[in-house]
Amino acid sequence: MTTSQLQWAEPTEIRNPTSAPIAPLLAARWSPKGFDPTHVLSDEQLTSIVEAARWAPSMQNSQPWRFIVGRRGTETFAKIENGLMAFNQGWTSRASALVVFCRTPVSADGKTLPYADYDLGQAAAHFTVQAAKLGLSLRQMGGANLAAIAESFALPESIAPKSVAALGVYSDDAGSIDEKTRQADAAERTRLPLDELFAVPAE
Ligand SMILES: Cc1cc2nc3c(=O)[nH]c(=O)nc-3n(C[C@H](O)[C@H](O)[C@H](O)COP(=O)(O)O)c2cc1C
């Protein structure tokens, strides 16, 4: 598959009030709840995003990540959404796709992978940044019954769901996004001050 049908998107709105210059894509990334309910995720977009995750670093190149992706309107989407906590189900129905980030706790040759969670998080970050490069947003969710999701897909023990994400195109269109969601998405964006991130002073 070529990438010729992919549209690279440069950030149109830098939402993050950074205290030092950073890559525009990162300065623009945020996690909306308002998604355009008409947007359809293309095969090219999905392949590009998963390809980016594929190239994340991992301990001994163990690549302990697997994904479940269901586009809106599919049985897979419904199964994932059914496994979400009620406070997430309200807004996820408009997402273009729901994604389950799964971890493989052992390698192909049966060795345990102590950094599997850490590595999965890095794959999720790659996934998120590549989505941003395509003009898409992710909102990750811990508010899910992961055991129920594993059961609904009859996953083997070797594939453990760790988090869920909604993927789609941000929208604040009052015609399709409720006021509460629009307000939540417009909230001030905050972070710990930069100084607090140094466990000991940098030298
Ligand atoms: C592991 C994880 C779990 C999260 N769980 C939820 C959730 O259940 N529901 C939700 O609306 N947002 C959830 N979020 C989104 C965070 O609240 C959000 O990333 C955080 O407030 C920072 O905002 P930003 O991503 O826009 O910078 C989660 C994010 C992560 C990484």
- Would residue 132 count as lying in a domain? yes
- Would residue 24 count as lying in a domain? no
Handedness of CA 138, 140, 145, 149 (dihedral sign): positive
- Would residue 152 count as lying in a domain? yes
The mean pLDDT of the chain is: 95
Question: 81: part of which helix (H) or strand (E)?
Answer: helix 75-82
- Would residue 99 count as lying in a domain? yes
Distance CA 180, CA 184 (A): 6
Atom of ligand 1 lying closest to residue 16 CA:
27
Domain that holds residue 169: 29-177
> Can you give the CATH number for the domain in which 157 is found?
3.40.109.10
pLDDT tens digits, 138-178: 999 999 999 999 999 999 999 999 999 999 999 999 999 99
- Would residue 167 count as lying in a domain? yes
- Would residue 188 count as lying in a domain? no
- Would residue 106 count as lying in a domain? yes
Other C-beta atoms within 10 Å of 81: how many?
20
Handedness of CA 11, 102, 145, 42 (dihedral sign): positive
- Would residue 6 count as lying in a domain? no
pLDDT tens digits, 32-56: 999 999 999 999 999 999 999 999 9
- Number of structural domains in the chain: 1
Q: Could you report how far apart the first and last alpha carbons of the chain are, in Å?
A: 47
Which residues line ligand 1 at a C-beta cut-off of 6 Å? Answer: 30-31, 88, 139-143, 163
Atom of ligand 1 lying closest to residue 33 CA:
11
